[in-house]
């Protein structure tokens, strides 16, 4: 179903018959529902959809999509904002992909998430209301450890690397060792 809605697979990579936009940042889905976790208000599953292929990936998370979950949960009626709430509200999100909790805090007015504002992000056109995400104990979301190898620094195939699992697993490599200009 998700592939059909997004328009994948599309051998031309344009996704013209779906809601995707032909790039990976526009081929994503959020599944949001009532929480099954005692420390959360809602459950959220992130899905990344392949563009030219039929891959459907449930193994990671996306910060941009995570930022949409709290306001969506309020505006869709999944969560009711208490009448005594002031200007800010926090939704506790259980990310089912990682098993971790994310607290999303954002402005509210009259029981709804505020959409307009003057908050900007470099590389994103326009301004909107801010959403602050606090990833609660994010270490080890996929491997069970902050440093999956147990080392701060490893040498792999002659390259100095740091493997870290915090939110999503990452590998950091010195650009100079790869012959890449860090000031591109």
The predicted pLDDT at position 111 comes to 92
pLDDT for res 93 = 98
Following DSSP, what letter does each residue of 118-153 receive, concatenated? SB--TTS-S-B---EEEEES-BTTTTSSSSTTS-SS
Residue 57 CA to residue 50 CA, distance in Å, equals: 8
Q: What is the pLDDT of residues 129-181, one digit of tens each?
A: 999 999 999 999 889 999 999 999 999 999 999 999 998 899 999 999 999 88
Q: Which domains does the chain have, with CATH numbers?
A: 2-136 (3.10.310.10), 139-184 (no CATH)
Please report the pLDDT score of residue 25 as a whole number.
80
In sequence order, the β-bridge partners of residue 95 are 44, 100
**DSSP of 98-115:** TTEEEEEEEEEETTEE--
Token code pair at residue 162: 């740091």
Low-confidence ranges of the chain (pLDDT < 70): 184
Say how far apart CA 11 and CA 168 lie, in whole Å.
28
Q: Please report the pLDDT score of residue 184 as a whole number.
A: 66
Distance (Å, whole) CA 139 – CA 167: 7
| pLDDT of 45 | 97
Q: For position 162, what pLDDT does the model report? A: 97
Q: In the prediction, which pLDDT does 120 show? A: 95
């Amino acid at each position: 179903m998700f592939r059909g809605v997004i328009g994948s697979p599309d051998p031309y990579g344009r996704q013209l018959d779906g809601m995707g936009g032909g790039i990976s940042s526009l081929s994503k889905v959020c599944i949001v529902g009532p929480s099954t976790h005692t420390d959360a208000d809602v459950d959220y599953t992130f899905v990344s959809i392949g563009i030219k292929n039929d891959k459907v990936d449930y193994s990671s998370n996306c910060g941009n999509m995570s930022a949409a979950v709290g306001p969506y949960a309020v505006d869709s009626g999944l969560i009711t904002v208490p009448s005594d709430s002031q200007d800010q509200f926090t939704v506790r999100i259980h990310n089912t992909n990682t098993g971790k909790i994310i607290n999303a805090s954002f402005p509210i007015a009259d029981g709804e998430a505020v959409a307009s504002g003057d908050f900007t992000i470099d590389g994103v056109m326009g301004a909107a209301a801010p959403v602050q995400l606090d990833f609660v104990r994010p270490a080890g979301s996929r491997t069970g450890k902050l440093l999956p190898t147990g080392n701060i620094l490893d040498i792999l195939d002659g390259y100095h690397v740091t493997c870290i699992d915090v939110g999503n697993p990452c590998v950091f490599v010195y650009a100079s060792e790869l012959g890449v200009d860090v000031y591109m």
